[in-house]
Amino acid sequence: MRWIVCLFTILLSGCHGVSLLERTTAEPPSPIMPLWESYQQCLAATDPMELALIVERFEPVVSEGAEPPSWMKAWGHHVTNQPRRTSVDPQALGAACTLRAAGVMAEAEFMPEARALYQRVLARYSNRDLDYYVDRAKAALAGLQDSTPAVVAFRPDRALPR
């Protein structure tokens, strides 16, 4: 009779009862309000160096989501990470702030820095669902490449007599 009660309890508790046995040791997700405040500062700032510092605040933010328990991973590719449930996407905030910083850098004639920030958007945010920001970075990067002046260097041919 005890076995039936135990089996019945396990069946009724389902996956929720098994997940209590596994405690995650991951750090809690970063709060969104400091990121939102950084984004607001990014929108208001006009100093290129201040914008570069603000962009760096978004670098450690990763929104991969919660990992499934180890016993579920045995099911293979059918099990994926669950997305974080936030009203604001921290990755989108970072991409938007980086694009704005690159635009301000380009206006201030800091072309190498602007190019590096646009390339950061392409490298960091292209594998996520942030195609809008990636497309804007590609277009801006193409515009920067058109605006670079051509450098012509004169190298005299040493074989010609003087």
What are the pLDDT digits (tens) for 150-162?
555 555 555 555 5
Residue 121 three-state SS: helix
Q: E strands of the chain, at which residues?
A: none
Nearest-angstrom CA–CA distance, 65 and 63: 6
Closest alpha carbon to 64 in 30, 100, 97 = 30
Q: Please say if the pLDDT value at position 77 is more than 80.
A: no
What's residue 70's pLDDT? 73
**Hey, is 82 helix, strand or coil?**
strand
CA-closest candidate to residue 144, choices 128, 161, 126, 121: 121
Share of the chain above pLDDT 90, in %: 33
| pLDDT bucket at 60, cuts 50 / 70 / 90 | confident
Single pTM value for the model: 0.62
* Contact (Cβ atoms closer than 8 angstroms) between residue 105 and residue 98: no
Per-residue pLDDT at 27? 52
* Confidence class for position 129, pLDDT limits 50, 70, 90: confident
